Each structure stands twice: as structure tokens, then as C-alpha cells.
Structure 1
Amino acid sequence: MESPRESATIVNDPNREEENVQSETTSLLQKRASDVTGKIISTNVTLFVAGLNEDAALGVLIPYILPTYGVTLFQLSQIYLINCAGCLTASFSNIHVCSRIGTGGTLVLGAVIQTLGFALMYWNPPFALFTAAFFLTGMGGAYQDAQANTFTTTVDNAHRWLGILHAVYGVGTIISPIVANVIASRTPVWHDFYFVMLGLGLLNLCLLRWTFREGLFKPNKRNASGTAASELKATLSNKAVWILSGFFFLYVGAEVTVGGWMVQFIVSVRNGDPKEVGYIASGFWTGFTLGRVALADITHYFGERRMVFVYLTLAVTMQLLFWLVPNIVVIAIAVFLLGFVIGPFYPIGLYVLTQVVPEDLRIGALGLTASLGQAGAAAFPFMTGAIASQAGVEVMQPIMLGLLIGIGLFWALLPRQRTISL
């Protein structure tokens, strides 16, 4: 009979002889069930804060930020570009940072950087400094996202735990537009939203510091010997990693583009009231979250590869309804269902990554793909805003359709074999 400790142990590979090459962090996670529980909770809080942050709230705040700073859509969209720069910085430094301070240290470092960004936003600084703060939140959030996902894939039944982790992220995205809309529409100080984020950022930092306290900032034993560079090189030469990076880059870009610009589209093109249509954004994120919970086991049962194509077909249908039907009720239903069917893509992609990428490259691959996903969350909303400043916000719709098609193309290219090199 298994002891409680054994039954609660996080495992990555049942072959015990593999343990001596696993990271310092993974071995620490396997020591006590109480540590595992705390780390699961803290990483879920991390993703909850991420959901509350840029992905949902900024779209609701756009109609209020524009007149406050007197900027154009193009100038405002630079927020996404700067956020992208922060994400990319984290993408290519993640392996080296983790090799020096471990998973827990990288999570805490990311939380510190992110919280500094929230503090700047709440201060309501000049526009240039306000946008610069998004570099900090992008970089800090990407470090945390990469490590939270890496940790979660070590849990038995990882497909389910990843679904829960990203459903919690989705809960944040549901709440965020509501909180932002209430603060912006009922008070004269829209940037008080970032006071809420500052408080939650500090809570997240304290939880991570406490739950990862054992061995915090200890170098990763495997990479401390000087192999971080070679691991990064091997990761970058793996074809499956690049295919999945493209998948995540487009998917998270699509998710944040529709979540960030839908309110402006409905206000400008469908003549919606900003005080009311902000709740439609919450409907999208509600569907997004429910999909991650409700479809996790169904997807695993019928097969991840097959079901992604089924969901994409439904997503394209919902996107066309959102684009072509000028009715607020139909739009609300369509965006809810769009969120429901695309919501599971991120945890599905992470789970499949663990099946097609060699185990010794998994930490670097998870970090790179997760961080590049965050870069997509910045790049495509920026591109949409830049084009919208010249051609109108309705350009969001063909961009979204193109992103959904691109997601399908990358998924079709995904190899079934575990080791494929460039």
C-alpha cells in the first residue's frame, strides 16, 4: 500500500533512475506533500494574477486611457509592443536565470519585477513611463508563467492540473473586466484598478516566497555545471519546440487580441455603450474558463490532436458570427462560445509538448514556448492597434480569422515522434 507521501508525490517519469538528472526544483517538489500542495496553490494564484492583469482589463480601460493621456490608438497600442519586448527578454533568458536561482527563485524574481510594474501604473505617471511599466509586467509575468507551467507538468495527470491552472487564469480574466469596468465607469480615477493589482501582486510575491522557501535561489544542479547554454541550443534546434512555439504565439495572440479589442470594436462599430459592453468581455473570458474545465477530460479521452481541429472549426464559425452579425445579443453569445472552444488550447498544447519533446529539454521548452506565447499576447494586439489607428478597429476581425487559421496550420505540422531535430 502506498503511503500518503508516496501517493501525493509529484512525478515526471516513473523510471527512478531518471531522478538524478532532474532539476533541483523537481527533486525539492518531491520531498513533502505539504510542500506540493502549497506550491500548487501559489502557482495557481500566480496565474490568477496574470489573468487579472493585461489580458482582460486593458481592453476595458482603453476608452478611458485614450482621453486621459490624449493619445491615438497607435500610440496606445505601443503598450502591447513594449509588453512584448519584456516577454521576449524573459523567453531567451529563462533557462539561464533558472539555472542560477532555480524555479522558486525565478518565480519570486518574476513576481518582484511584475509588482514594480503595477506600482508604476498605479502612480499614474506620464504616458511614456506608464507604457514602460508594461515591459516590467511582461517580463515578470513571462518568468512566472514559464515556471508555473514547468512545475505543473511534473504533477501526475498533468493534463488535468494544467486545465485547472489555466482555468484559474481564466477566472482572473472573468473578474478583471468587471472590476476594471466598475472602477473606470463609477469613479474618476480609472488607474485605481492598478492599486488592486499592486495589492494582489504583493500577495502573490509573499505566497511564492513562502511556498518555495526550501532551497529558494539555489542553482539548478544540472545546469549549474555549465550546461544551460547547451540545453538552450538543443532546445532551439528541436523542430517540435518551434512548431509549438508558433502555435502558442498565434493562440495567445488571438486570445488577447479578441479580449483586448472587442470592447472598442463593439463601441466604435456596433455603437455599444462602454459602460454596458464591458460585461461582454467578461462573457468571453467566462466561456474561456469554463471550456478549460469542462473540456479537459473530454479532449484527453478523444485525443488532443483530433479535438483541437474540432474546436477550431467551431471557433471559426463563432468568429464569423461575431464579425458579420450586427446584433449585440448574437455577439455576446458568439464571443462566449468562441472563448469556450478556444479556452483549452493552451493547456492542451502544454500537455502535448510533454509527449513530443525529449524529457531533458522539457524545462527549457516549456519556458520558451510559454514565454513566446506571452510575446504573442503583446505582438498581435499591438499590430491590431497600429492598423486600427489608420483603418479602423474593424480590422480586428480579419486578423482574428487569420490567427485561427494559422493556429490550425501549426497544429497540423506537429510531429508525433518524440525526437525531431532541425
Structure 2
Amino acid sequence: MAQLSSQPSPRWIGVALAFYAFIAIGIAEGGLGVLLPSILQEYSLTTASVTLLFVSQITGYIFAAFTSSLISSRLGLARMLLMAAGTLTLALAIYATSPVWGLMVAAGTLLGLGIGLIDAGVNTYIVQDERGASLIGTLHGFYGVGALSGPAIATTLLAMGMTWRQVYVVLTGVVGLLIVALLAVLVIRYPPMHLRGVATSEGASAAQNLGRSLRHPAVLLTGLLLLVYVGTEAAIGNWAYTVQSVGRSMSPMAAGYGVAAYWLGLTVGRFGLDYCLRRVGAVRMISLSLTLLLIGLFAWWQLPDQWLSLPMIGLALAAIFPATIWLVPRRLPAELVPGGISFATSAASFGAAIIPTLVWTNWHHNNAQQDAIKNLLNRS
């Protein structure tokens, strides 16, 4: 990556900031699944209306998909990440204080925008730097740390007697530390994060590069794969607690820590990914992961009382996203990488909003059919 000065910059500053940014978005996303039943009760929601919280995030993700590379090119990475961190923190603060459901739904757009910009910006920063490309698995491992911490923190604080709003105050504070770190980066003018984009040899603009990347088949296929993958990851993370506690009558503590075990499996897998990529290769690693994922999903469906399937699913999911992102610079010209990663990661975030909604709608519909059958049998 280009530098603003000829002096070498301390590598650890940007890497540490990237890791904490992924912890922050992991916490923001991971805590919601445990808090959903409390939110349902607070606002007297139906199971259909609660899905609006996921749908509202879609507009933010779509905006991030088509603008993150342009914003980074115009403002520089550090300023874009600061804007994204402020947007995400504001969304969580609104979640904690919103007096009406409609305002919380509207804040979902801000949450989607903040997460989408951070995801695209940090992934691009890591994979474009040859020194940092080997850290892609560790980077996503720190997302797992956040996603694991979110439900664990939420479950513990609820057990201590806090309300779901107070839990969101705590999560807001944790994510807000990212703003402080980014302000420090701006003050010291850390050169790599003031980079304003990658130019082509023909001098094409960021907008032209974005347009070219969106017409590249590899970008479109990558976006589709990550949409399905992240949607699956989020659906399990968001709804496993409800399925375990409501559908399978597990205790709230057991259900909450079961979700934490799911994220633990994902986290462990990602911290070992860099080694596996060197030994196995990205494509073979993705194929093995998909096989293990099918086994884990089948076990969770057919053996509901055991504890192994959720961490197995998390372990299976661990490699897919970072290995796919790792392949992007190896499949695209350098000037198309920012736009390609921007679109792919934001398509993934779109999946995180739409697929959990579809899963919940289908699960609720099936439960409603079963209740209707039971009522009919009781009457007869």
C-alpha cells in the first residue's frame, strides 16, 4: 500500500485497530440473538413485526455496498471508519433508549451502514497489504471473539438482573471505544489509513473501478456466496437462542451459553485458519468446511438435546468468509479489489439481514401450523 511518507509506519497500530474494529462489530451483531425475546416482550411485538428490525438494516448494507470504496477514496480509510464507528455507536445508543419500536427499526439502517462500511474498509486494508494478507484468518477470528462475547455478556448481565436496555448501554460503550482509537489515528496521521484509494495505470477514478468490479463475474459470484454464507451464520446466531429456549424448552442460561459455544467454535476455527490456508489451500478449505457444515446442521436438527452440534456448526463456518475474501486479490486486478471487496462484504451483510428474516418467518409459520393441528385434534 502507498504511504504518506517515506518513513516506515508501525505495522501493529493498523493491525490492532483492525482487530478491535472486528471485535466491535461482532459484539454489536452477536448480542442481539440473546436480547430478542426481551425486545419482543418490551414492545409487545408479534413474530412478524420483529423481523422489521432485520429488514431495516438492508438499506444501510446496500448503501455501504456501493459507496464504501468511493467514500474511502474521497475521505481516506481512517475518516471513513470513524464515520462508520460513530454511526454504529449511535444505532446501539438508540436501541438502548428508543421509546417506540419504530425508532428502533429506523436505527437498524444506521447499524447496517456502520457495520457494512467497517467490514468493507478493514477487509480491504488487510488483504491489500502484502504484510497483512496472512492475517485474514486472525482478523476474522477477532470478529468471532466479539460475536462470542456479545451473547456471553448479554446472558450474564440479564442473569444479574439488568434489563435489555441496560445491556445495550454496555455494548454501546464497548463499541464507542473504537471512536476514541480512530480519533487517535487521525491525530497522529497514521499514514496507511490516510490512503485515499488505489489508482489504475490508466488513472481511472474510484467510481470507474467500482463499475468495472461490479461487472466482473468473480465479484458477483463472491457476493452471492457470501450473502448465503453470512445469512446462514447470522440466522443461527440470532435465532438459536429462541429455538433452544422457546422451541426446545431449554433454560435461558443453557440456551444463551449454547449460542456462545456456537461462536466459540467459529472463533477457534478462524484463529487456526492462517495455518490451514498455507497447508490445505483456500478452495479445498471451503469445500471441507461445507461438508462439516452439513453434518453439523443435520445433527442440530435431529439431536436437539446434545451440545456438540452448535460449536461444530461454528467451526464449519469459520473458514468460508475469510478464505473467500483472501481469494479476491488473487482473482482480480489490484485496482478492482476495493470495489470488489466493498460489494462482496456488503452483499454478505445483506444476507445477514434477509436470510434470518426468512428463517424466522418459515419457523413461525411451521409452528403456527402445528398449533392449528393440535387445536383441531383437541376439538375433535
Query: Is the deviation greater in 190-199 or in 140-149?
Result: 190-199
Equivalent residue number for residue 276 of structure 1: 254
Structure-2 change in CA distance of 1:357 and 1:179 (3 Å): same
1:261 is matched by which residue type in structure 2?
W
Structural mapping, 1:340-379, within 5 Å: 340-379=315-354
Equivalent residue number for residue 145 of structure 2: 171
Matched, 1:33 2:28: no
Query: Is the deviation greater in 343-352 or in 296-305?
Result: 296-305
Structure 1 contact 264–393 (Cα < 8 Å) conserved: no
Structure-2 change in CA distance of 1:314 and 1:79 (3 Å): same
1:33 is matched by which residue type in structure 2?
S
Listed one character per residue, the Cα deviations across residues 328-361 of structure 1 (whole Å, up to 9, x for unaligned) are xx2x211111111211211101111111111110
- Aligned-residue offset at 1:157: 5.5
TM-score (normalised: structure 1): 0.81
Equivalent residue number for residue 231 of structure 2: 253
Matched, 1:193 2:167: yes
Matched, 1:130 2:104: yes
Equivalent residue number for residue 22 of structure 2: 47
Distance 2:351 2:3 in 1: 32
2:217 is matched by which residue type in structure 1?
K
Where 1:366 maps in the other structure, the secondary structure is helix
Query: Is the deviation greater in 65-74 or in 148-157?
Result: 148-157
Structure-2 change in CA distance of 1:393 and 1:42 (3 Å): farther
Structure-2 change in CA distance of 1:212 and 1:28 (3 Å): farther
- Aligned-residue offset at 1:142: 0.8
Structure 2 contact 285–319 (Cα < 8 Å) conserved: no
54, 66, 86: which one aligns with 2:40:
66
Structure-2 change in CA distance of 1:248 and 1:124 (3 Å): same
Distance 1:342 1:289 in 2: 10
Equivalent residue number for residue 16 of structure 1: none
Equivalent residue number for residue 8 of structure 1: none
Distance 2:107 2:230 in 1: 21
Structure-2 change in CA distance of 1:31 and 1:43 (3 Å): farther
Gaps of 5+ in 2: 371-380
Structure-2 change in CA distance of 1:365 and 1:199 (3 Å): same
2:238 is matched by which residue type in structure 1?
G
1:155 is matched by which residue type in structure 2?
D
Using the aligned pairs only, state the percent identity. 24
Equivalent residue number for residue 390 of structure 1: 365
1:301 is matched by which residue type in structure 2?
R
- Aligned-residue offset at 1:125: 2.5
Structure-2 change in CA distance of 1:286 and 1:97 (3 Å): same
Gaps of 5+ in 1: 1-10, 12-25, 396-422
Matched, 1:143 2:117: yes
Distance 1:339 1:364 in 2: 29
Distance 1:87 1:394 in 2: 33
Where 1:173 maps in the other structure, the secondary structure is helix
Equivalent residue number for residue 207 of structure 1: 181
Matched, 1:80 2:54: yes
Listed one character per residue, the Cα deviations across residues 149-187 of structure 1 (whole Å, up to 9, x for unaligned) are 111113335453111111111011111111111222332
Structure-2 change in CA distance of 1:321 and 1:228 (3 Å): same
Structure 2 contact 59–109 (Cα < 8 Å) conserved: yes
Where 1:27 maps in the other structure, the secondary structure is coil
Equivalent residue number for residue 402 of structure 1: none
Query: Is the deviation greater in 206-215 or in 58-67?
Result: 206-215
Listed one character per residue, the Cα deviations across residues 269-308 of structure 1 (whole Å, up to 9, x for unaligned) are 2211123210000000000000011233123312211121
Structure 2 contact 198–335 (Cα < 8 Å) conserved: no
Structure-2 change in CA distance of 1:222 and 1:284 (3 Å): same
Matched, 1:326 2:304: yes
Distance 1:39 1:67 in 2: 42
Distance 1:259 1:41 in 2: 26
Structure 2 contact 4–194 (Cα < 8 Å) conserved: no
Distance 2:291 2:327 in 1: 20
TM-score (normalised: structure 2): 0.90
- Aligned-residue offset at 1:192: 1.1
297, 314, 319: which one aligns with 1:339:
314
Distance 2:84 2:7 in 1: 24
Distance 2:277 2:178 in 1: 31
Equivalent residue number for residue 381 of structure 1: 356
85, 90, 93: which one aligns with 1:116:
90
- Aligned-residue offset at 1:386: 2.7
